[in-house]
A and B are shown apart, each in its own frame.
Chain A
Amino acid sequence: MTNIGLILSIAAIIGGLLWLTIRSLSGREVERRIIFLFIGIAVSVPLLFDITFSEKATPIVKGVYDKVDNLPSGSVILISFDYGPSMAPEVEPMSNAFIRHSLAKDHKVIIMGLWATGQSLGASAVENVIKKEFPNKIDGVDYINIGYKAGNQGVLNVIITDFRKMYATDVNGVDLDSVQIFQGIRSLKDMDLMISVGGGFPGIKEWVLFAADPGNIPLAGASAAVSTPLLYPYYPMQLIGLLGGIKGAAEYESEMKKNYPQFADMPTPGIEMMGPQTLAHMVVMAFIVIGNLSFFFAKRRKE
């Protein structure tokens, strides 16, 4: 039944594209709503029929994975949630994967956010990932959510010398001086790795400018696809690795599944999203070809 549905859907897309080609080559306009409809179908079909593809980590993603994997147990990793719900479908799989990987390696995880929305999304990661999948990990000992502070890059400019000047407590109002995870941590320079997950302002760029470069601290990025091309120049000297968009998330998840048997059944939204991505990109490419063909045909007709 599933296969029949899949075949019918793909046949509908291909048939529709042929109809569009004939229509545009004959010089008639194609309404933009038809384009939207095609993208909608191309994205829905792989979701409904669970089409996925295998992924292999590229060096830029492997750089982050290897860093987390090779740090000695007990290392301190700071994950900054610099995004909001509108960016979450794209970058949340990455932050969840980082948390899973770090805790599986027995690293200490500090969650914070330069975006106000990052605070509640960090809390949601604590509830949905840490408490459910790592029930033996203790808040304040193995992980902590210190939340959001206003000030954008100003926050980084302060915490690179002293956390406590900006963060007196964690999100639950617990004094940072009283939590075990913060014993011996004074500033960002005490982090073994920082990971900024986001894609806007303030985000990975600000982490490079105001923390990684001046403090010479290892930094990895996980960014929304839109801002990824702007961050590539920082790799590999100023960023140890970068996960770009949902493709980066899928590569990281596949690496985790390959190397950790306990993650064989973990949720892999990144890998699942690559099915719709692939089909949607193929439809967009088909549109570009159809558009160019009809342009040249129309030009020739005029001549």
Chain B
Amino acid sequence: MDKSKRLSLIIFGGVIVLFIISWIIKISLLQEAGMDSLLSIRDAFFITFAAFLTLAIFSFLYKDNPYYKFAEHLFVGISAAYWMCVGFWSTFVGNFIPKVSTTLSDFFEVPPKEFEIHYFVPLILGMMLLMRLSPKGGWLSRWSLAFIVGTTAGLNLIRYLRTDFITQVSNTFIPLLVDWKGIGPFFSDFSLSASGQFVMTLGNWVIFIGVFSGLIYFFFSKEHKGFFGHASRVGIWILMITFGASFGYTVMGRVSLLVGRLTFLFNDWLGLIS
């Protein structure tokens, strides 16, 4: 046995020993808290196993290793199986069975509904999609795929055109002087509140200049010189600020997930915080 293999076996042994010690300690802590002995054994196992999987995923930060791979594959496998099972029970049993068969509805204990023959269309299309697994009938799945792509494209075209284009253009037509009653009232009622006239007006100007200069930056039919060049530079700045804000939000999101896992480790597993 070479040196690296021996080291891997020692680490594996160490992980098993630590897992068992953690499990036993957790059982005793749960029993001290008044939990039933069988329940405490089960719950302690799940908590310890979840902690092991969390640490296994974190171990990738050091370097790629078999524990990380195990946790990753387990996650992918369980996710796929979960989606399939929920899909079966909620859509196939929940929607299809009640509309096509009273006997099957009784078997699955779902209330039967009025028979509707057109519910067989998605069933047939679904079965055709699964033909992809067959070497000879694979071509049949293209019909289902064509249906999915066609309907999705058709639906999205109308909705995106309305929501992301027409309504967004309309939303950009905003007053550059919000609730304007003259220069006197503007200064006499001056406030830095987020819902105040000054901040609202400033916000609308930022949107106007941002959209205008951003559009100029992406307009390539005229050379970016003079006023056009200056507006284009402002457009770049607006884009950079947007990317910066996105990066900031991404950091916040990732830190939140890290906090979630650390809270689990410190609270549920180690009991360091309440």
Is B113 positioned at the interface, with any CB of A under 8 Å from its CB?
Answer: yes
A161 to chain B, nearest CB (A): 14
A209 contacts B255, CB within 8 Å?
Answer: no
A144-194 residues with Cβ-Cβ distance < 8 A to B are 147-151, 153-154, 157, 166-169, 173, 175
> By the criterion of a CB under 8 Å from any partner CB, how many residues of chain A are at the interface?
60
B259 contacts A47, CB within 8 Å?
Answer: yes
Contacts A43-B259, A116-B87 given: A246-B252 contact, CB under 8 Å?
yes
Chain-A contact segment, one of B91-99, B133-141, B227-235: B91-99
A157: nearest chain-B partner, CB-CB: B155
Alpha-carbon gap, A276 to B255, bound state (A):
8
**B contact residues around A209 at 8 Å (CB):** 156, 159-160, 163-164
Alpha-carbon gap, A87 to B259, bound state (A):
12
**A contact residues around B168 at 8 Å (CB):** 233
A245 contacts B253, CB within 8 Å?
Answer: yes
A178: nearest chain-B partner, CB-CB: B111
**A contact residues around B155 at 8 Å (CB):** 153-154, 157, 210
A170 to chain B, nearest CB (A): 10
Is B272 positioned at the interface, with any CB of A under 8 Å from its CB?
Answer: yes
B61 to chain A, nearest CB (A): 5
Is B256 positioned at the interface, with any CB of A under 8 Å from its CB?
Answer: yes
Per-residue contact bits, chain A 212-250, to B (CB 8 Å; 1 contact, 0 not) = 011000000000111011000100011000001111000
**A contact residues around B260 at 8 Å (CB):** 88-90
Alpha-carbon gap, A47 to B87, bound state (A):
38
Contacts A48-B272, A147-B90, A168-B95 given: A43-B250 contact, CB under 8 Å?
no
Is B273 positioned at the interface, with any CB of A under 8 Å from its CB?
Answer: yes
Is A9 positioned at the interface, with any CB of B under 8 Å from its CB?
Answer: no
B256 contacts A214, CB within 8 Å?
Answer: no
Is B171 positioned at the interface, with any CB of A under 8 Å from its CB?
Answer: yes
Chain-B contact segment, one of A11-19, A70-78, A134-142, A277-285: A277-285
A277 contacts B252, CB within 8 Å?
Answer: yes
B90 contacts A150, CB within 8 Å?
Answer: yes
Per-residue contact bits, chain B 205-238, to A (CB 8 Å; 1 contact, 0 not) = 0000000000000000000000000000000000
Q: 21 A-B residue contacts at CB 8 Å?
A: A40-B258, A47-B259, A48-B272, A59-B195, A87-B257, A89-B257, A90-B260, A116-B82, A119-B90, A149-B94, A149-B95, A168-B95, A199-B253, A209-B156, A225-B250, A238-B167, A238-B171, A246-B259, A269-B263, A280-B258, A281-B251
In addition to A36-B61, A168-B111, A209-B163, 17 A-B residue pairs with Cβ atoms within 8 Å of each other are A48-B266, A58-B194, A59-B195, A84-B79, A116-B87, A117-B86, A119-B86, A149-B90, A150-B90, A154-B155, A167-B94, A210-B155, A213-B163, A225-B252, A226-B249, A246-B252, A276-B262
Query: Interface of A with B (CB < 8 Å)?
Result: 33, 36, 39-40, 43-44, 47-48, 50, 58-59, 84, 86-90, 116-117, 119-120, 147-151, 153-154, 157, 166-169, 173, 175, 199, 208-210, 213-214, 224-226, 228-229, 233, 237-238, 244-247, 269, 273, 276-277, 280-281, 284
Query: Interface of B with A (CB < 8 Å)?
Result: 61-62, 79, 82-83, 86-87, 90-91, 94-95, 98-99, 109-111, 113, 151, 155-156, 159-160, 162-164, 167-168, 170-171, 194-195, 242, 245-246, 248-253, 255-263, 266, 272-273
